Amino acid sequence: MEDSYGIFTTDGETISGSLHDDYAVNLAERLDESTASLYINTKNGVLLLGTAVNVQKTGRRPDTFIYLEKTDIEKELPPRIDLLYIHEFYKRVKNRLSKIEYEIRNLASDDSFFDERNKRITSSLSGSNVADYAIGRLLLSKETVCVSDDLSKSVDFVVAVTEKLSSYISAGFTIVVSKRTFRGADLLVTEKFSGDVQIYLDTEKINDKKRAVIYKNIGVFAQNPKIRQKISGAYTKNSLTEELVTQIKLKEGTNSKKSGELEEFLREENIEFSRENTDSFSPENYESRPVSKKSAVNEAGYSDWKINDYDRENLMLEYEKHMEKKHKGRVKIIALLAVILLLAAGVVFFSGYTGFFGSNDKETDIPHITPSATIVPEPSQGAVVERLNSTPGNMPEEFLGFGSAYMITVSEPSDASFDVTSQFLPDKEYFLMIYNQSGYSWEPADTSPLVSNESAIAYIEKSGIYRLFIKREN
């Protein structure tokens, strides 16, 4: 899927891109006012990334542009917002500016930022206490302010927090790194702040002695896989906070002392479950769509299901584990082939003395392999088919998913057979599609599958996630 983006001047004029509605223009002006280095917003099923950069065109005076990028994450696998993803985001900013002949001079007047990011991919944070503390506050709907004049460390910190929030990201959070205050941010990292500051990031010091341990423990508790699975379906921060408090109360059980301490904590911190305010300038294409809960459906209707971030995260982790396993398998195959080649070379070397490949007939020097020496390929050299527990979304409008999705790995193009997990419909035409990991979309595979009652066979040219589809009826 193509991300829509927009490049704006400080006056709100659109320089490039298709993103130019009122919301985007208003937001671009706010990012300029605060000199935002990184803006992340995940409200209403949309991921918005933004940054203000100082640029210059050859022969012209320096200027400031604002870059915004919008990705729909409601019905598909959202990106893992880690350091690598943010680095790729900044690369896209540079590439799209270069296409209109502008060069980035610096980010928020930090001349060394991009050079530092090009040299490393690891975080500069020494520990996770401050990140876990921030997670606890954010999940209880408490705005968190950090102060830091180290831009690189600020970006590392908000990305660490966002990555830890991955299971709950669809509830809608606004996370900002900026030189000046950005109104309405759930997590703000800025150089100076006149109000209450919770974290001094340069020293990784939490300025909340009374509640630091409680919020940190809540942040750690919320990252427990069982807890994530139970509450990651919350679609607003308000409902997320309510579900989290419910799980904390269940954990405390009948311990009256701990229950009393929890109630006191909630009361003193003014943690309530109230209706959330929405931005007054949100146009229709940024507003959330109603979520309809379906009962049992046919497996062919998987594309209509609502999946939460925990499901998406599991699919991403499953894919990463598969790719790691696949890499190890390739290493083994390469090592095996190397051994076979060495053995073959030894056999050829000694064949002149043993006559293993045939007689000493001088009519030909070309050796031949007898039928008894036929080499049978190892199973690992064929197609490896693994059924996925979760199915990527973003289904083509004119098609319905049929059966499960499969990760099919091939070392070279070959036939692959996989189970048919839905009722076979002989009057339908079946299409095989491959999932585009970079574009988060299903694309036709250049092959015609043979489908029967129990299995399907298709010629697979490259490894990837595959699934059968049938056309929707009008």
Residue 53: Cβ within 10 Å count? 22
pLDDT in tens, the chain (474 residues): 446 899 999 888 899 998 888 889 999 999 999 999 999 999 888 899 999 999 999 888 999 999 999 988 775 666 778 888 888 899 999 999 999 999 988 876 665 676 655 545 445 565 668 999 999 999 999 999 999 998 888 998 999 999 888 888 888 899 999 999 999 999 999 999 988 999 999 899 999 888 999 999 999 999 888 888 888 776 788 888 999 999 988 887 777 788 888 889 999 998 876 544 544 445 555 654 444 443 433 433 333 434 455 555 555 555 555 566 666 666 666 666 766 776 665 544 444 433 323 334 443 333 333 333 333 334 434 689 988 876 777 778 888 888 888 999 988 888 888 988 888 888 888 999 998 877 778 889 988 898 888 889 998 989 999 999 998 876
Which of 178, 206, 234 terminates a domain? The answer is 206
Do the beta carbons of residue 199 and residue 146 sit within 8 Å?
yes
Which single residue is written with the structure tokens 């022969």? 59
Q: Tokens representing 471? A: 């056309």
Q: Tokens representing 122? A: 């690891």
Q: Tokens representing 288? A: 């959330």
Q: Is 458 helix (H, G, I), strand (E, B) or coil?
A: strand
User: Are residues 303 and 424 located together in one domain of the fold?
Assistant: yes
Which of 206, 221, 242 terminates a domain? The answer is 206
Q: Tokens representing 293? A: 């809960």
Is residue 279, in this structure, part of any structural domain at all? no
Residue partners of 54: CB distance under 8 A and separation at least 6:
62, 63, 64, 104, 105, 106, 107, 109
Give the pLDDT confidence score for residue 403 in this predicted structure.
85
User: Are residues 57 and 200 located together in one domain of the fold?
Assistant: yes
Is residue 142, in this structure, part of any structural domain at all? yes
pLDDT digits (tens, 9 = 90+) for 347-396: 444 444 333 233 344 433 333 333 333 333 344 346 899 888 767 777 78
For the stretch 161-166, contacts whose Cβ atoms lie closer than 8 Å and that sit 24 or more positions apart, written own/partner, are: 161/131, 161/134, 161/135, 161/187, 162/40, 162/81, 163/80, 163/81, 163/82, 164/131, 164/132, 164/135, 164/219, 164/223, 165/135, 165/138, 165/139, 166/80, 166/81, 166/309, 166/313
- Taking the C-alpha atoms of residue 179 and residue 34, their distance in angstroms, rounded to an integer, is 6
Is residue 440, in this structure, part of any structural domain at all? yes
User: Are residues 312 and 190 located together in one domain of the fold?
Assistant: no
pTM over 0.75: no
Instruction: Identify which of 215, 35, 81, 205 has the alpha carbon closest to the alpha carbon of residue 143.
Output: 215
Do the beta carbons of residue 67 and residue 3 sit within 8 Å?
no
User: Are residues 304 and 189 located together in one domain of the fold?
Assistant: no
Is residue 23, in this structure, part of any structural domain at all? yes
Number of domains in the chain: 2
User: Are residues 163 and 35 located together in one domain of the fold?
Assistant: yes
Domain assignment of residue 125, given as a range:
4-206
Give the pLDDT confidence score for residue 290 in this predicted structure.
42
What is the DSSP track for 174-212?
A: EEEEESS--TT-SEEEES--SS--SEETTTTEES-TTTH
Give the pLDDT confidence score for residue 173 in this predicted structure.
93
Q: Tokens representing 49? A: 């990334």
Is residue 229, in this structure, part of any structural domain at all? no
Strand partners, 165: none
Residue 433: Cβ within 10 Å count? 21
Which of 206, 232, 263 terminates a domain? The answer is 206
Instruction: Identify which of 66, 67, 70 has the alpha carbon closest to the alpha carbon of residue 78.
Output: 70
Residue partners of 360: CB distance under 8 A and separation at least 6:
none
Instruction: Identify which of 372, 432, 441 has the alpha carbon closest to the alpha carbon of residue 401.
Output: 432
Largest CA distance in the chain: 99
Is residue 447, in this structure, part of any structural domain at all? yes
Q: Tokens representing 222? A: 């919320």
Beta-strand runs (E) in 102-186:
103-107, 144-147, 174-178
Is residue 272, in this structure, part of any structural domain at all? no
User: Are residues 304 and 419 located together in one domain of the fold?
Assistant: yes
Is residue 373, in this structure, part of any structural domain at all? no
